[in-house]
């Protein structure tokens, strides 16, 4: 009896320990799922260059057909300018993608030098080439060259026509640009990396002075992109599997304990119910060793022992009692004139 009285406490303790195992396993699983992250940095650095040659009209003073870059020019002698753009991007790691580029020219009638920056009277843009795409694959550097010949007198005449119609104090400028759209695909980045670049060469129009100079902007800027990436570490995978195993083990153990608890409850209810019947009705119950064959009797199966007592009150014959060898089922019955009243007490039917 002591073991039976201690059983509920032991079952409760086991369930508490299993619950702690489940919680601990869940925590371990979450730790394993939280793989460490690292910040991935990808950079693209321009290493561009602009070269040009200024070709001169026939004159009595300059024997050379052109003047190289970085000099001072007399604009009235300029025939045309050949411009060579070299576009280079250096990547921090191997990448693929494409460059889409075109050439354009912009002429403008600017306010005089005393005016504020970016204030202009008139401007017009000319697209010199159709867009072209250059692709590259798995490389740390990609480049291309683009060249154009600028008809300087043509653009100069356009600005002269503007001045004739609108005689305002203004300066003239022509800017030739290489416009590039970069689309880069790097390994650790889900979406393509995009940015625009521009290489420019600018020179004055309508300028007769020797001080006329060409300005160059190579667009050598660095573009940096960042993203987070999970570090695949076997240790984290092992921790996650360990957590899953602990959770599954706790579920299995909990099921076993619940089943044992149910068996314990059923067994104790069966024993206590049987003892109560035997103690209360000891004087009218007869214990038998073997269960007789009742197949020839007309059977009335009652649902409770009290119903069997009602039959006993009318017939006044002893109630026979038989318990099977496993101790899981007890049969009480009364026989009289080919009729049998039966009540069965089964352990499996209790506690449900």
Among 279, 309, 341, give the residue marking a domain's end: 279
Reading the block at residue 258, the tokens are 């619940």
Give the domain extent around 215.
39-230
Asked if 249 and 327 sit in the same domain, the reply is no
Asked if 158 and 60 sit in the same domain, the reply is yes
The answer to whether 177 touches 104, Cβ cutoff 8 Å, is yes
The answer to whether 10 touches 235, Cβ cutoff 8 Å, is no
Which residues of the chain fall below pLDDT 70? 1-8, 34-37, 111-118, 207-212, 229-233, 261-267, 350-352
125-148 pLDDT, tens digit each? 999 999 999 999 999 999 999 999
HSE of 276, CA atoms in CB hemisphere, 13 A: 9
Asked if 30 and 147 sit in the same domain, the reply is no
| Reported pTM | 0.56
Asked if 156 and 56 sit in the same domain, the reply is yes
Asked if 181 and 167 sit in the same domain, the reply is yes
Residues 110 and 121: their CA atoms lie apart, in Å, by 6
Residues 114 and 5: their CA atoms lie apart, in Å, by 104
Count of C-beta atoms within a 10 Å radius of residue 340:
19
Asked if 120 and 184 sit in the same domain, the reply is yes
Residues 352 and 231: their CA atoms lie apart, in Å, by 52
Residues 99 and 131: their CA atoms lie apart, in Å, by 10
Asked if 48 and 178 sit in the same domain, the reply is yes
What is the pLDDT, as a whole number, of residue 201? 92
Asked if 44 and 181 sit in the same domain, the reply is yes
Asked if 82 and 163 sit in the same domain, the reply is yes
Residues 86 and 201: their CA atoms lie apart, in Å, by 13
What is the pLDDT, as a whole number, of residue 37? 66
Question: Could you tell me how many residues make up the chain?
Answer: 352
Asked if 222 and 139 sit in the same domain, the reply is yes
Residues 48 and 222: their CA atoms lie apart, in Å, by 11
Domain count, the chain: 3
DSSP class per residue in 257-303: HHHHHHHHHHHHHHHHHHHHHHHHTGGGEEE-SS----TTSEEEE-S
What is the pLDDT, as a whole number, of residue 4? 46
Tokens 């069966």 found at? 270
Asked if 26 and 45 sit in the same domain, the reply is no
Residues 231 and 140: their CA atoms lie apart, in Å, by 23
Asked if 275 and 222 sit in the same domain, the reply is no
Bridge-partner residues for 224, per DSSP?
A: 43
What is the pLDDT, as a whole number, of residue 81? 93
Cβ neighbours for 312, distance < 8 A, ≥ 6 positions apart:
284, 319, 334
Among 200, 230, 260, give the residue marking a domain's end: 230
Q: How far does Cα 177 stand from its chain's mean position?
A: 40
Dihedral-angle region of residue 35 (phi above 0 means left; psi in -120 to 50 means alpha; beta otherwise): beta
């Amino acid at each position: 009896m002591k073991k039976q009285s201690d059983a509920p406490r032991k079952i409760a303790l086991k369930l508490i320990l299993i619950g702690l195992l489940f919680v601990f396993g869940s925590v371990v699983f979450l730790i394993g799922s939280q793989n460490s992250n690292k910040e991935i940095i990808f950079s693209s650095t321009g290493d561009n260059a602009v070269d040009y040659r200024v070709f001169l009209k026939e004159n009595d003073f300059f024997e050379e057909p052109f003047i190289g870059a970085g000099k001072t020019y007399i604009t009235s002698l300029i025939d045309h300018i050949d411009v060579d753009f070299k576009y280079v991007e250096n990547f921090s790691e191997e990448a693929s993608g494409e460059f889409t580029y075109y050439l354009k020219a912009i002429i403008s009638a600017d306010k005089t030098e005393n005016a504020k920056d970016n204030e202009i009277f008139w401007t017009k843009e000319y697209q010199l080439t159709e867009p072209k795409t250059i692709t590259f694959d798995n490389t740390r550097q990609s480049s291309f060259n683009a060249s154009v010949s600028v008809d300087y007198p043509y653009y100069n005449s356009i600005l002269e026509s503007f001045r004739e119609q609108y005689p305002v104090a203004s300066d003239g400028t022509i800017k030739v640009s290489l416009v590039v759209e970069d689309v880069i695909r790097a390994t650790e980045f889900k979406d393509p990396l995009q940015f625009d670049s521009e290489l420019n060469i600018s020179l004055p129009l309508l300028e007769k002075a020797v001080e006329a100079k060409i300005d160059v902007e190579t667009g050598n800027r660095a573009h940096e992109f960042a993203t987070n990436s999970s570090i695949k570490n076997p240790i984290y995978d092992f921790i996650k599997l360990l957590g899953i195993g602990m959770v599954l083990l706790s579920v299995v153990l909990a099921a076993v304990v619940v089943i044992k608890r149910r068996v314990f409850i059923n067994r104790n209810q069966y024993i206590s119910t049987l003892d109560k019947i035997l103690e209360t009705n000891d004087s009218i119950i007869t214990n038998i060793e073997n269960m007789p064959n009742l197949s020839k009797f007309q059977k009335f199966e009652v649902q409770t022992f009290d119903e069997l007592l009602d039959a006993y009150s009318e017939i006044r014959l002893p109630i026979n009692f038989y318990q099977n060898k496993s101790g899981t089922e007890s049969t009480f019955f009364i026989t009289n004139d080919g009729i049998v009243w039966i009540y069965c007490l089964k352990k499996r039917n209790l506690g449900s």
